[in-house]
Amino acid sequence: MTSAADRVSRLLGSVEMARAYTLAALTATFASFAIEQMTSSTTYATIIVILCVLGVAILFVRREELSLLRLAPSSLLAFLALALASLIWTTDRSDSLVGWIWTFGFAVLAITIGHIRDTLQTVRAIGDTLRALLLASLGVEILSGILLDVPISFLAVEGNLAIGGPIQGIFGTRNMLGFIAVIALITFFIEWRTQSVIAPIAVPSIALAGFLALVSASPTVLVLAVAVGVVTAALTIVRHAPAAHRNLVQWMLGALAVASLVVAFAFRHPIIAWMGAGSDFSIRADLWNKILDFVAIRPLQGWGWFGPWQRGEYPFTYINYLLNNQHQTALNAFFDVLLQLGIAGFLLFLILGGVALIRSWLVASVRHSVVYAWTPLVLVTLAVDSMFESFTLAGAGWFMLVLCALRAGQSRSWRENIDAANTGAIPTLRPQV
């Protein structure tokens, strides 16, 4: 006769629990704004805590399947450790601790999903989640902007769908909706190419994400779309190049990318004017210049980790006072990390994202299945968006960064060689020919 503990252990280690947990965690992550607005911050925090505890329990039950060395990327652990250490010099230890707990909590959710679901299962779960949330966003906008013609204030929905936008959906801001829509476009396309869903589902899903990205009227969507399109084309060229010439193609594309960035920087003012984002960029430039003044005071360690700016905390309130504004982030993940964790945190953040991008790109360039292209494409989206928003440091953006970094490290990592030495297995990546 099996004990209750055995039954609970089997339940936590079951495939059904893995799928249910993944969907629940993804919904809680991507629908954070709507959940918090419809309930309360305490309720949402309770949901995340319960999911974290459940995730740790699932990983404990599956401990024989896991390798401690490969549980999380070392760059992620170093970044979290530095953020926690900043409690020593932060301007407010209680608020910094709360900010760190939120950062750590979403990392736990991503690590759990990364270990209990493979890449294709993860893509399918994210696809199902975003399909439902984008449909809910469209439904809310139709209700507010067409059927009732009144704003839904508690969801920050202004009801502008009938006039072509901008709209926010259930994500709080148009930029967040645009960011989520681009992630969804990548996911739905990969689903379609891998035949994970049938065309009558995939094609309308792509159309839905594209439509919402368009009517969000987010100035960053166009940049994200161009970046993802260029990277997709480059990755396609690499994947179809003969194995003997693949390294040469990689270097040529890298040189072209550097040259393109130089040209884009040189002609940044005409490009900004063409996009009609002059005033928006001016606001960001003023904010970034002011942040650099405060970075100069504490260049190495920063002012302490908070994540999104806490109200009433120095130097955030003083920066807003000087600019006569109410910014809640630095509107740039790199500047935000530099302000809060200094040069040390900035370098760790670059290493976390950069190493993950390189690893995932190399895997995607040699693996047959197109599903491996999902990780580098999402990482490029996060990197580009980080130049205009700080989404990558909190909530869904941070969750996706940790998930992609973990996924990339599972295929190409120094830990893999250590595991191979202990087991006698030789890890290999079969090249595509």
Dihedral sign, Cα of residue 153, residue 154, residue 160, residue 165: positive
Q: Which amino acid is at 331?
A: L
Task: Tell whether the model's pLDDT for residue 274 goes beyond 70.
Answer: no
- CA pair distance 95, 313, nearest whole angstrom: 9
Distance CA 289, CA 322 (A): 12
Are 177 and 137 a contacting pair, CB within 8 Å? yes
Task: Quote the pLDDT of residue 63.
Answer: 85
Residues 267/54, Cβ–Cβ less than 8 Å: no
What radius of gyration, in Å, describes the C-alpha atoms of the chain? Answer: 22
Count helices and strands in the chain by DSSP H and E runs = 18, 0
Q: pLDDT digits over 230-269, tens only? A: 888 888 888 777 777 677 777 777 777 777 767 765 655 5
Decide if pLDDT at 417 tops 50.
Answer: no
pLDDT at 116 > cutoff 60: yes
Q: From residue 373, how far is each of 74, 257, 370 by CA, in Å?
A: 23, 18, 5
Give 170's pLDDT tier (boundaries 50, 70, 90): very high
pLDDT (mean) for 403-413? 80
403 vs 385: CA distance, rounded Å: 17
Residue spans of the domains in the chain: they are: 118-217, 219-433
Give, rounded to a whole angstrom, the gap between the first and last alpha carbons of the chain.
Answer: 54
Q: Name the residue with higher pLDDT: 420 or 166.
A: 166
- Residue 420 above 50 pLDDT? no
Q: What is the pLDDT of residue 1?
A: 54
Q: 249-258, 385-394, 416-425: which range is least confident on average?
A: 416-425
Q: Can you say how many angstroms the Cα of residue 119 is from the centroid of all Cα atoms in its chain?
A: 15
Position 69 scores a pLDDT of: 75
Determine the pLDDT at residue 430. 40
pLDDT confidence bin for 29, thresholds 50/70/90: very high
- Tokens 């839905």 belong to which residue? 208
Where do the H-state alpha helices sit in 276-394? 278-295, 316-323, 333-366, 374-385
**Is the predicted pLDDT of residue 419 greater than 50, yes or no?**
no
Residue 74 has pLDDT above 60, yes or no: yes
Cα-Cα-Cα-Cα dihedral sign, residues 241, 242, 243, 247? negative
Q: Output the average pLDDT for the chain.
A: 86
Q: What is the pLDDT of residue 276?
A: 55
As given in the structure block, the two tokens for residue 179 are: 């960011």
Residue 282, amino acid = S
Distance CA 250, CA 230 (A): 14
- How crowded is residue 330: how many other Cβ atoms within 10 Å of its Cβ? 24
pLDDT of 278: 55
Contact assessment for residue 123 and residue 20, using Cβ atoms and an 8 Å cutoff: no
Residue 305 has which token pair? 């980790």
- Mean pLDDT, range 32-47, rounded to an integer: 94
Measuring CA to CA, how many Å separate 31 from each of 26, 28, 134, 379, 398?
8, 5, 10, 20, 14
d(CA 432, CA 372) in angstroms, rounded, equals: 12
With a pLDDT cut of 90, the percent of the chain lying above it is 52
Residue 193 has pLDDT above 60, yes or no: yes
Token couple for 348: 């760790």
Is residue 408 a contact partner of residue 363, using CB atoms and an 8 Å limit? yes
**Which pLDDT belongs to residue 273?**
58
- Which pLDDT score is estimated for 275? 55
Return the pLDDT at 80: 96
State phi, psi for 152 to the nearest 5 degrees. Answer: -110, 90
Give the model confidence (pLDDT) of 175-192 as tens digits.
999 999 999 999 999 999
pLDDT at residue 272, as a whole number: 57
Interval 96-117 mean pLDDT: 94
* pLDDT value of residue 433: 33
Residue 223, pLDDT > 70, answer yes
> Residue 55 class from Cβ within 10 Å (0-12 exposed, 13-18 middle, 19+ buried)?
buried
Q: What percent of the chain has pLDDT over 70?
A: 89
Give the C-alpha separation, 373 to 365, whole Å. Answer: 8
Return the ∠ at Cα 16 (arms to 427 and 183), rounded to 5°.
65
Lowest mean pLDDT among 62-76, 224-238, 269-283: 269-283
Predicted confidence at residue 65, as pLDDT, reads 82
Three-state SS for 157? Answer: strand
Q: Which two tokens stand for residue 174?
A: 């148009």
Res 265: pLDDT: 59
**Cβ contact 165:176 at 8 Å:** no
